[in-house]
Structure 1
Amino acid sequence: MSELSEFASSPQDTKVYGSVGDVPVGTAGLVEGQYVWKGEDSSRVFIFFCGAVNTKLIPMSPIFQRWKWVHKFSHSVVIAHDPLIQNTGSLQLAWYTGKQDGPGFDDIIAVPLRLARALSSGEICAFGSSGGGFAALMAAMHNHVDSALVINPQTNILRYSPQLRDKYLRTYLQSSKGLNQTDHERLSIIGALWRYYDNCRTHVVINTQDNAHFNGHVVPFYRVSQQQNLQSLTFSCYDDAKNGHNPPSEANSLWLVQKWWPQSITSEYRGAIQGLRSLRKLERSDIMKNQPRKT
């Protein structure tokens, strides 16, 4: 059993290392404020982005979601910390955007990217769901990664749940001048699409029963990608009325990871992953079927 799962009761209990070179293979550690798992296979490296944080966990910040998964990966994993999620605050989600007049997305993920490049000279892979999916997509739009897999992502922060969105905007906005064009590029995947080189293998997976994200976030992004004939962006959907916006189970999610990045899950754990039976290519018929009914 790995040190991670055997000894660490929480990410904060994990040993701090000075560099990724100091982290032994098959071990997890904190490096420059990021959570790092050092896998055996250096042909690729993952960056995990985190979504909304449960209010009860905020005092434990920094939060590293899915840290209990990483020992199942044959490759190294960096779980990126969002600096706006602080143990003294109440903000639950900030999408790695930073504040309006402060460091932006590129600055915030510079450390996770540098650590990832130190762990592998091969493929850099971004993964996240919901708000973490937004950040993984933004990493692709900014051409920082070679591939990305996102599940039920937001693509426009301004279309998100008003309660969490407005709490975030009160932190993001540093003056009364409101939002400008630069802000819209920071807060929208479509707004940032002009940066995209169309060479990052990017896949979006959406639950058709997550109505708000299906119709309000993924479908607009899908339509723009089709209009621009972006070959590297692909879309799948599945049907899960019970889970809605919640991501698939760990077994299902790791199956998606293994499907998109073969050999990424160690052979020891591949037998426990489970496929999503309803997973299929997103088609226009799915969009028509799930359009909101007019009243």
Structure 2
Amino acid sequence: MPNYADEPVYEYGSVDDFEQALSLPGGIHKICLAGELSLDVLISGNLSLIAQGYKIPVFFTGAVTSRELKTGPFFSGGGISRALGTPFVSIADPLISRHDSIGIGWYTGTPASPAMGGIARVVKKISWFFERNVLAIGGSAGGFASLSLAADDSGISALVWNPQTNILNYVPDFVIPYLDVLFEGEWSAEHWKETATQKFESAGLIFDLTVVPPAKNFLYLQNHTDWHVIKHCAPFIESHQMNAEGDGRYTNGANGTIQIANFEKGHTPPKKQLIQDAISLLCSDRNSTEDALHALGTMGHLADTDFKFLPEDLRCDSELLKELRLHFGTQDGKIFNCQLAHAD
């Protein structure tokens, strides 16, 4: 990640103070949240130079690797924005900035210092001040935060890739240290997910995007070989009753679109050029997510996808599949019967 140590720093005692600011110059805006956390917001360049009819790109960071060797705050989007020649905003995860024991925090904050509400107010202030709409951008954990923000405000659009949609369905080796920072306690027990769910709900922190109203405007890019298809993408599609349009595309009947394709292998982010092109298209207020996805296809970004090998949507055949039975025997004469069952 680029080094922003030379950026000027502007400090605010609260989100209220930030909302009262009479100017928003380039630099790092450090805003105290309730409790122990503070929110670091990088404004890079003069946002008023973004043309009318174009959105402000706002970046959210995914997991920070080699965490023990790095000191926050961590900002993403600099390289892409410079390639596009556009000013931008990047928001550091306040939990990661505060605690050097974790490299992923999903922008939830803590029960004593919740973050997403403050982030939403900060972004609304920036949007209002510069009279531009906003495009929230992020992959993986940054994608979770982008979808959360866009769900909070229908005027905010989101571009995400391979996002988590339920924090508790991510890799336990990363989730449990995060939970220990949030709630402390013992997390090695068999029912740690149930305990965490109760604690999240008691704290009022959103951790599962499948059980809250979805964002209205989003383009969600998903690698078809990523294990997130089963654990995160499919539950999101099902819970929000998104319609299968064929060739790995799902829509919400408005301006929300998911495209499952061969963008990259596994959980690897799509190529930088694809992300740059998607940002350029979605930053224009004239383009819907469908327009942007069609344009990405004409640019060749879907050319490597053999749609015959994408995960198949079998929801319409669910009743038939429930009746399937598998009967087989082994060489030692043992007989087994298998039946399709709902997976938790």
Structure 2 length normalisation: TM-score? 0.65
Question: CA shift at 1:17, angstroms?
Answer: 5.2
Could you report, residue by residue, the CA deviation over 1:164-209 in whole angstroms, capped at 9, with x for unpaired residues?
A: 011111112256875323568610111222xx5x6x3211110101
Correspondence for 1:251:
273
Correspondence for 1:111:
122
User: How far apart in 2 are the matches of 1:251 and 1:74?
Assistant: 14
Where do 1:272-291 residues align within 5 Å?
275-278=300-303, 286-288=310-312
Against the structure 1 CA distance between its residues 86 and 145, is the aligned structure 2 distance closer, same or farther, given a 3 Å change threshold?
A: same
| Unaligned segments of structure 2, at least 5 residues | 12-20, 31-39, 187-194, 244-251, 287-298, 315-339
- 1:69 match: secondary structure: helix
Against the structure 1 CA distance between its residues 169 and 220, is the aligned structure 2 distance closer, same or farther, given a 3 Å change threshold?
A: same
Greater Rg by CA: 2
Question: CA shift at 1:150, angstroms?
Answer: 0.6
Question: CA shift at 1:155, angstroms?
Answer: 0.2
Q: 1:186 aligns with which of 206, 227, 244?
A: 206
Whether 1:206 and 2:222 are equivalent positions in the alignment is: yes
Residue identity in the other structure for 2:230: N
User: How far apart in 1 are the matches of 2:140 and 2:165?
Assistant: 9
Contact 1:20 1:115 in 2 (8 A): no
Contact 1:42 1:75 in 2 (8 A): no
Correspondence for 1:31:
29
Against the structure 1 CA distance between its residues 244 and 250, is the aligned structure 2 distance closer, same or farther, given a 3 Å change threshold?
A: same
Where do 1:90-101 residues align within 5 Å?
90-101=101-112
Whether 1:171 and 2:181 are equivalent positions in the alignment is: yes
Contact 2:94 2:115 in 1 (8 A): no
Against the structure 1 CA distance between its residues 20 and 68, is the aligned structure 2 distance closer, same or farther, given a 3 Å change threshold?
A: farther
Q: 2:81 aligns with which of 70, 82, 91?
A: 70
Correspondence for 1:267:
none
- 1:252 match: secondary structure: helix
Question: CA shift at 1:133, angstroms?
Answer: 0.2
Correspondence for 1:231:
254
Q: How many residues align?
A: 263
Residue identity in the other structure for 1:248: P
Name the stretch that deviates more: 254-263 or 45-54: 254-263
Whether 1:158 and 2:159 are equivalent positions in the alignment is: no
Contact 1:236 1:279 in 2 (8 A): no
Question: CA shift at 1:214, angstroms?
Answer: 1.1
Residue identity in the other structure for 2:197: L
Contact 1:78 1:115 in 2 (8 A): no
Against the structure 1 CA distance between its residues 133 and 58, is the aligned structure 2 distance closer, same or farther, given a 3 Å change threshold?
A: farther
- 1:233 match: secondary structure: strand
Contact 2:138 2:160 in 1 (8 A): yes
| Unaligned segments of structure 1, at least 5 residues | 1-7, 265-273
Residue identity in the other structure for 2:50: D
> Which fold has the larger relative contact order, with Cα–Cα distance below 8 Å and residues 6 or more apart in sequence?
1
Against the structure 1 CA distance between its residues 261 and 284, is the aligned structure 2 distance closer, same or farther, given a 3 Å change threshold?
A: farther
The alignment's C-alpha RMSD in Å is 3.5
